[in-house]
Amino acid sequence: LLMPCVATTSPAEVRAMKPIDRERLLALYNLEVTLAELARCKQAVREGRIWQLAEQRSHQHPALREAFLWLTTAPSLDRNVRPERFYTDRDAARDIGQDQGMWEDAWDYVVWSQRTPKTGGVMWGGDDTFSRPHIAKARRTLQLRWQPAAHANNAVVFHGIRGPFRERINDVLEWLTVHHPTLQPFVLTPIGLVPASLEDLNPFAHIDAPRWVLRHEPEAEWIRRELHRLGMSKTNVATVDVAGDGMKQRLAAALESMSLDNDVHEPLPAEQRNRARSTLRSEQGKAKQMVLLNTDAETAGSIMEGATFVVNREGRVKNINDSEGRHLFSPRLRDGGMSVANQGARALFDHRSEPLPTGLPRTEWWGNGGKGPAVVVVNADAEPFVRKGRNVFHGFVVACDAWLAPGEACLIASEAGELLGHGRSECTSTEMASMTKGIAIKTRGGMDD
């Protein structure tokens, strides 16, 4: 590495130096290299790329690679595993010692504390991509919270291109909505299956992968596993390559393989097309509520009943309003997320079926899907400030739900059970119980705003 302290010094000059001068120069060089790496790490933290940097650095030494793989690989479930039968570094990294699996809680904490969705692209790094905590968090959140329609018994998987898929498949999605309402469309991304209603969600929509990753033939067994994780294990499935010409012919063949009407070239009347677009927008709102706001399908459908939409010139939804025209949510175009408005927070709070929390429990990552956004209860001193949209600080929180997670939307209530505002959490419930200073919730709106 070329550093300022050696930029004008040749190797011959270094060899000719006195030992003390050479030692001083090497010490200065090592200091500059260390400071540069620390600056690189700080910048990666600010940009949310620190795990990607660790992934890159792990390839610089076998011991680093071994440690990185041990950290990111689940322990072996086989107590009789034979190390001499290991054929890959990933297999060899599986924990098989006496403390097998004892660190998994710590890894779960790292994963569930990630903020997702986030802005920016994701660089493909092979199998290591799946080990990045924010990728693992996005996959877990989708698979634990998203619920398919009760009547869905067929699935079509679109694949072959990088996002956005909507530019290629919107027309056929409208046709499928009219002619096959029981069919669930999916998009195959390099990091897994995602419902077509969430095709713009980061990181799934923003993977910068080589062309061969996008173009290789989908593996039927992997798609079956992904569908099983999404709650659709007993589903007829067909795949459709959307790259290049002839996409509708390939869709027609896929539908025929499932014994479904396949006249995809039949144009839709204007009235049916408008109705289909409204249905697709409603499905997008429901899906984002389930995945990003932790609602169940019934609650999401109830909130979206009679909803109207404000769309931009490209047809993308900017605002979701209720049947009376009040602003509920704003889908974010930059990361596929969804911001909550005051009326949306009110609707989510009114639909909550869980009792209000009464303490500060240990964080529970599993088993809380569909229970709605986490609720944070503040004391009387904080009430007037939260109503005006001020942030919630540690020390003023008296209770919260166990599934509170950093970066996720949450509702703020009084001890009397009244909704005061809504915002974005900065910590977990365990951290909420232990911290006494700093911002706990960044408030986005107060009920008196």
Q: Give tens-digit pLDDT for 32-82.
A: 999 999 999 999 998 888 989 999 999 999 999 988 888 888 776 565 666
* Same domain for 87 and 155: no
Q: Give tens-digit pLDDT for 140-169.
A: 999 999 999 888 889 999 999 988 888 899
Domain that holds residue 251: 122-270
Q: Give tens-digit pLDDT for 178-209.
A: 999 999 999 999 999 999 999 999 999 999 99
Residue 90's pLDDT is 72
Q: Which residues contact 11 (CB under 8 A, 6 or more apart)?
A: none
Res. 285: pLDDT tops 60: yes
State residue 86 phi and psi, 5-degree precision.
-75, 135
Average pLDDT of 358-386? 94
Asked if the structure places residue 338 within a domain, the reply is no
* Same domain for 432 and 359: yes
Asked if the structure places residue 112 within a domain, the reply is no
Q: Which residue has the higher pLDDT, 137 or 75?
A: 137
Residue 207's pLDDT is 93
* Same domain for 197 and 69: no
**Where is the domain boundary, 29, 62, 96?**
96
Q: Give kind and range of the element (H or E) at residue 327.
A: strand 327-331
* Same domain for 127 and 68: no
* Same domain for 258 and 396: no
Asked if the structure places residue 275 within a domain, the reply is no
Q: What is the pTM of this model?
A: 0.88
* Same domain for 171 and 233: yes
* Same domain for 253 and 150: yes
Average pLDDT of 275-300? 96
Are the CB atoms for 422 and 410 separated by under 8 Å? yes
Separation between Cα atoms, residue 184 and residue 316, nearest integer Å: 21
Average pLDDT, the chain: 91
* Same domain for 150 and 54: no
DSSP H stretches of helix in 307-425: 342-350, 383-387
Residue 325's pLDDT is 94
* Same domain for 152 and 238: yes
* Same domain for 261 and 135: yes
Q: In what order do the strands lie in the sheet with 192-195?
A: 192-195, 183-189, 154-159, 236-241
pLDDT band at residue 107 using 50, 70 and 90 as cut-offs: confident
* Same domain for 438 and 389: yes
**Where is the domain boundary, 236, 270, 304?**
270
**Where is the domain boundary, 224, 242, 270?**
270
The count of C-alpha atoms lying within 13 angstroms of the C-alpha of 442, restricted to the half-sphere facing its C-beta, is: 10
Q: Which residues are bridge partners to 441 per DSSP? A: 392, 425
* CATH number of the domain residue 435 falls in: 2.30.130.10
* Same domain for 141 and 88: no
| Number of compact structural domains in the chain | 3
